Amino acid sequence: MEPYDALLASITPKSGETRTITDPATGTAIGEAPIHTLEDLEQAINAAQAAQPAWDGLGHEARSAVLLKAADAIERSAAELAHLLSREQGKPLNGLNARFEVGGCVAWLRAAATTPLEAQTLVDDGETYAELHYKPIGVVGAIGPWNWPMMITIWQIAPALRMGNAVVVKPSEYTPLSVLALVKVLNEEIPEGLLTVVSGDRTVGARLAEHPAVGKIMFTGSTATGKAIIKSSADTVKRLTLELGGNDAGIVLPDADPKAIAQDLFWGAFLNTGQTCSALKRLYVHTDIYDAVCEELTKVAVAAPMGNGLDENNVLGPLQNKAQYDIVANLVEAARASGARILLGGNPDAGQPGYFYPTTLVADIENDNPLVAEEQFGPALPIIRYSTVDDAVEKANALDVGLGASVWSSNRDAAREVAARIQAGTVWINKHGAVDPRIPFGGAKQSGYGLEFGIEGLKALGTPQVINL
């Protein structure tokens, strides 16, 4: 018996076409996911349209109360959700992984429910009085990824519901069970019809993006798919929030302490086994401390156990799917062939079940190498040597993406000066990838547009309305 058996049974289709979902750590079957159709999508959108006006009419306070109860429901089912997530996505239960993700769902849902959003007085000069309000959009489409399937779904649906919208969710085909289970739990408290999952293929996602009854699309995924959504949404002038691909740079200044920063550098890069949009994916280190940083990072990496996520000792897991495994393996092999130095890893065990790629650190690599220039989205970190800060900043800014970045230094003022020169939506200092439900998050350049989290995230799920007296 698995801890999630009852929950899984509740989302297993009793009829209709299904698809077997397998564990990326073992290749064994987990369960059956429905293959929803365009007709199912139409039914979900119709139900959302019917339920949304009454939900809007409740007002912020009553909607927030419902969402807080929904957060409590997630907490009640946390063990089952975490185990199912670990099996389907591959991430370990322990560390910043499955249990952490379920806890993040609770935290972000509560934050969306309790963040105040008052009407803003724009002008009050005795002659003119103007207020800015935010009204619901109507029906929101939420299209999510496979790397953080539960938490990113909450990032999308929590503010949408708080602002009075209904939501239709399209999960990744790789991780539908996690999202179906999460929404099943949420719907214990949320009124019927407001929140529906349509677990279909890309044709379903494409139709959701272009559907005339959907007023906004929230999407987290690749830049290529984001561009397709922009095109398909044009005819209906949909509002969009797009969190797209990234290739985050970290710059280690010469005054940094290699030993002190090694642990945070490692987890900035290898959180969720590197399968995080805002993970540290290319590390620029000043030549004066280059060898020391490589040495300290290697020590940390060797001590981080990788294996089946249900083993409480592991903190790193497999890549979620074969396609992503092949991308990482090919990029590392190209780096090796170019003459780069493999400090650790790069030697997967072909006889091991599952999509495990070993923790890999690559040194003495050129900035134009594909492992640096392309988003690897896995457990392989290239470490690039630089001589001047100007050179490091230029290299960090050279790509057409800019989701996040980081600067590492013992001098906060010096780090802030460098951070201000980096073209990215968020620049962290002496940490990387630390998102917070109170702090807006979004990308620059081709990493997308629109903000999530905090007050700005709520506003993005509403239509601004000025009342002018």
Residues 357 and 339 in one domain: yes
Catalytic one of 277, 294, 296, 375: 277
Instruction: Answer yes or no: is 441 within a domain.
Output: no
Contacts of 462 (CB under 8 A, 6+ apart): 134, 135, 136, 137, 163, 164
Q: What angle do CA 386, 402, 456 make, to 5 degrees?
A: 140
Residues 117 and 252 in one domain: no
Instruction: Answer yes or no: is 315 within a domain.
Output: yes
Q: What pLDDT score does 352 carry? A: 86
Instruction: Answer yes or no: is 442 within a domain.
Output: no
Contacts of 278 (CB under 8 A, 6+ apart): 246, 248, 403, 404, 426, 432, 433, 435, 441
* Total H helices, total E strands in the chain: 15, 20
What tokens were used for 454?
């905090």
Q: DSSP labels for 146-169?
A: SSSHHHHHHHHHHHHHHTT-EEEE
Instruction: Answer yes or no: is 291 within a domain.
Output: yes
Residues 411 and 350 in one domain: yes
Answer for the pair 97, 273: CB distance below 8 angstroms, yes or no. no
192 is catalytic: no
Q: What angle do CA 13, 19, 22 make, to 5 degrees?
A: 110
Residues 254 and 174 in one domain: no
302 lies in which domain range?
248-436
Q: How far apart are CA 383 and CA 220, in angstroms?
A: 27
CA distances from 203 to 34, 60, 198, 274 (A): 15, 35, 11, 29
Q: What pLDDT score does 430 carry? A: 98
**Helix/strand/coil for 251:** strand
Q: Provide the domain count of the chain.
A: 2
- Start-to-end Cα distance in the chain: 64
Instruction: Answer yes or no: is 186 within a domain.
Output: yes
Residues 128 and 71 in one domain: yes
- For residue 258, which amino acid is it? P
105 is catalytic: no
Structure confidence by residue, pLDDT tens digits, 370-382? 999 999 999 999 9
Residues 224 and 255 in one domain: no
Instruction: Answer yes or no: is 325 within a domain.
Output: yes
Residues 387 and 353 in one domain: yes
Residues 396 and 271 in one domain: yes
Q: How far apart are CA 22 and CA 308, in angstroms?
A: 13
Residues 431 and 386 in one domain: yes
Q: What pLDDT score does 186 carry? A: 98
Answer for the pair 340, 302: CB distance below 8 angstroms, yes or no. no
Residues 277 and 342 in one domain: yes
Q: How far apart are CA 209 and CA 203, in angstroms?
A: 10
Contacts of 454 (CB under 8 A, 6+ apart): 111, 115, 437, 438, 439, 440
Answer for the pair 316, 273: CB distance below 8 angstroms, yes or no. yes
Instruction: Answer yes or no: is 45 within a domain.
Output: yes
Residues 235 and 262 in one domain: no
Instruction: Answer yes or no: is 458 within a domain.
Output: yes
Residues 43 and 147 in one domain: yes
- Number of other CB atoms surrounding residue 287 within 10 Å: 11
* CATH assignment at residue 330: 3.40.309.10
Q: How far apart are CA 342 and CA 371, in angstroms?
A: 12
What is the mean pLDDT, run by run of 10 residues, along the chain of 469 residues?
92 94 98 97 98 98 98 98 98 97 98 97 96 98 98 98 98 98 98 97 95 98 95 95 96 98 98 98 98 98 98 97 98 98 95 94 98 98 98 98 98 98 98 97 97 98 97
* CATH assignment at residue 84: 3.40.605.10
387-399 b/e with 16+ CB inside 10 Å = b?
eebeebbebbbeb
Residue 420, classified by CB atoms within 10 Å of its CB into exposed (0-12), middle (13-18) or buried (19+), is: exposed
Catalytic one of 88, 101, 210, 243: 243
CA 40 and chain centroid, separation: 26
pTM of the complete model: 0.96
Structure confidence by residue, pLDDT tens digits, 158-210? 999 999 999 999 999 999 999 999 999 999 999 999 999 999 999 999 999 99
